[in-house]
Structures are given as structure tokens and as C-alpha cells.
Amino acid sequence: MTESHSFFEKIESHFTSELPFVCFAKNGQLKAYLQVDEQVHTIEDFQVEGFVFCPFSNSESKIIFPSNHCKVISSEVQPIEFSKSELKFEESNIDRIRHEALVSKAIETIKSSEIKKIVCSRKLKVRVKIDPIQVFQRLASQYSKAYSYCWYHPKVGIWLGATPEQFIFLDRNRLETVALAGTIDASKFEEPKWTAKEIEEQQMVTDFIVKGLESNTQNINISKTESIKAGQLWHLKTRISAEIEIENLDQIISDLHPTSAVCGLPKHAAEQFIITNEHYDRQFYTGFLGEMHLKQEQLRHRRSKDQEQMAIKSIKRVSDLYVNLRCMQAFEDHVEIYVGGGVTKDSDPKAEYEETVAKSQTLLSIL
């Protein structure tokens, strides 16, 4: 029995027992938190250790699988062969009309108010019954550069995704994040040709993050913006880092979430538009998930008085959080795929709808 096979057997057993778990893949590595009780553990602050699953709205419950209530297992991703989905999914014209109307209203609001950007989203209902663990294996194999996951709690539901966007990486007091915006269908363009609209949108996201960090961090560093490929999509990406005091982490998360990449600018005005006009609950879509304050052992080398080299072990804490994009919720006889895009004054409703169609292929192709 391979290590990977044993890993998934343990998850299958946990799932069959209707116990909460999350399994995730990053950089070829698999890891899972298997919670030993059925309780829904929630948190008020981010000073606790475990795997967090947080919703779009800061007013809703933030769920954690606490480390001291979990068995943690790991393995390596094994590439698997599978046929790309030939699932014939055609949306009704009503879906297109509704989303284009939402985008048109967002554009009108932007032109007549202080709002500069609104992220408009929708969900696609696909009649298909899935095996969530099998789908996760496909995600991990197909999207090796993304953060793929399968999250389950019998009292909350099943969520899966393959997100390209880091929210926060915290190594002791060094925080890293990214500004990710702009989307071009990579199947149509071998190299992206960015328009003024996409470049402006990316700069808005970068400026929002920097402003959110300024009051609670030091030594902010901003990288050069680059084009990256995530699945069949091109994005613009800027890396941002800073030094923080750990007691400021809660305020930093509050200032940054939801980011302008998933909500808009100014944040509160854009969020109010979304709540009023999207007419559905995003739940955990555009929230964030990942490990908080994970203990990691490291070796440091130094020389003793007689010049012999000594290895000294120390413990550091690392948090690794991702924005919940390219995700779906699984039900008994269907799945609901969540997709969206940033709208500015220069947006085109038809193009915005087509962007959501392109984004949906990340998950449709592996069902």
C-alpha cells in the first residue's frame, strides 16, 4: 500500500464516519486535519492554532478545526490520469441576463458615487453527483500550482476548491501577501495583453493592501507586477511583504478582509452593494482558509566555544492562509460553483459574464 493510498483511506474512513476533516494540497504535498469530534468550533480572534475556514462576511461565524482536537496526517501528491470532463453544461439565457444586469448596475453605481470597484459574483448550479474526495484528488493533480482543498463538516457542508490567491503568509513576524487581479483566458492568448482597465484594477488592489498594512506594520516592500498563469487563466500579481507585531494580526486581517480583489473599493460601500444586489449568500466563497500558527521545528547552526558546530532546534509559528476562490459547494445531487469578477467604470457587462464562464472551467473540467 502506497503512502498516498493510506492517506486517502484514512480520509474516506473519517468521511464515512461523518466526522469533520479538511485535506489540502500545496507544492506537491498533501496534508489533512481529521477532527475527532462533531462539534462546530468557532473563534473570536486569530490567536489560536488550527485550520480556519472563514466566510466572506466578518459578521458570520469563523470555523476552526483546532489542532488539539485533530489528528494531522500528510503524504505526497501522486499524479493521476483521468479524462477531462465532457459535461455538457449550458446556462439559460436568464443567467446571462441577470449577471449582465448586475454588472450594468455596478457600473452605473461606480459612475455616480465614490465607489471605484465592485466585485460582482454569481453561482452556477450543475446537476451532477460527485465523490468529493475523488474530485479533490483530481484538483490536486491537475492544479499543482494552486492551493487545492476539500473541507467537510457534517453540520455545515462540503466545499472544494483550487485557489491561486494567497491571503496571508506569516513566518513569525514577517507577513507576505499578494495583490491578484485582472483575468485573461489563457486558452485564447499564449501571452497576455493587458488593457488599461485590468492594469487599473490591479493597481487598486495593490493600493488597498498597502493602505491596510500601513498603520500596523513596518518596512513594507512591494514587488514588480508580473503575469502569472493559473489553470487556463492569466492574472496580474504583485507581492507585498511587511514586518508585524503578532498582537496586531487580528486588526490586520480585519483591515484586509474582504480584500478589494473579492469585494471592491471602498470596502464597506462595495460590500453593501454586494449584499443588496447579488441576491444570494456567498457564505465561504471569497472568505479565506488555511493553517493558523502552525508549529514548525527548525535547525540553527552555531559554533561552540571550542569551535565545534552545534545544531540547535527551535520552534517557530507559521500561518498560511488563502482566499477561497475557484470553489464550489457539493450537495447530494448537484454542485454550486461560485465565480465573479472585478467591475470598474470601464467594464463591459458581456465581457464580465464571459470572464465568469472562463473561471467556471477550472472546476467544470474535473467534475
CATH number, domain with residue 222: 3.60.120.10
Q: Which of 329, 263, 320, 275 is nearest to 295 (CA)?
A: 320
- Per-residue pLDDT 10s for the chain (367 aa) are 456 679 999 999 999 999 999 999 999 999 999 999 999 999 999 999 999 999 999 999 999 999 999 999 999 998 888 776 666 666 789 999 999 999 999 999 999 999 999 999 999 999 999 999 999 999 999 999 999 999 999 999 999 999 989 999 999 999 999 998 877 887 777 788 898 888 988 898 899 999 999 999 999 999 999 998 887 788 899 999 999 999 999 999 999 999 888 999 999 999 999 999 999 999 999 999 999 999 877 666 556 555 566 556 667 889 999 999 999 999 999 999 999 999 999 999 999 999 999 899 889 989 8
Whole-number pLDDT of residue 345: 93
Yes or no: say if 168 and 253 are a contact pair by the CB < 8 Å rule: yes
Whole-number pLDDT of residue 316: 83
Whole-number pLDDT of residue 233: 82
Yes or no: say if 163 and 146 are a contact pair by the CB < 8 Å rule: yes
Grid look-up 457587462 returns 349
DSSP state of 295: E
Whole-number pLDDT of residue 85: 61
Whole-number pLDDT of residue 189: 76
d(CA 47, CA 319): 11
Give the number of domains in the chain.
Answer: 1
Q: Which residue range is the domain that position 152 belongs to?
A: 3-364
Helices assigned H by DSSP within 82-149: 93-111, 132-142
**Before 258, cis peptide (omega within 30)?**
yes
Whole-number pLDDT of residue 304: 57
**Residue 276 CB partners (closer than 8 Å, separation 6+):** none
Q: Is 218 exposed, middle or buried (0-12, 13-18, 19+ CB in 10 A)?
A: exposed
Enter the pTM of the model. 0.90
Q: Which of 293, 311, 49, 301 is nearest to 172 (CA)?
A: 293
74 forms beta bridges with 31
What are the φ and ψ backbone dihedral angles of 125, each rounded to 5 degrees? -95, 120
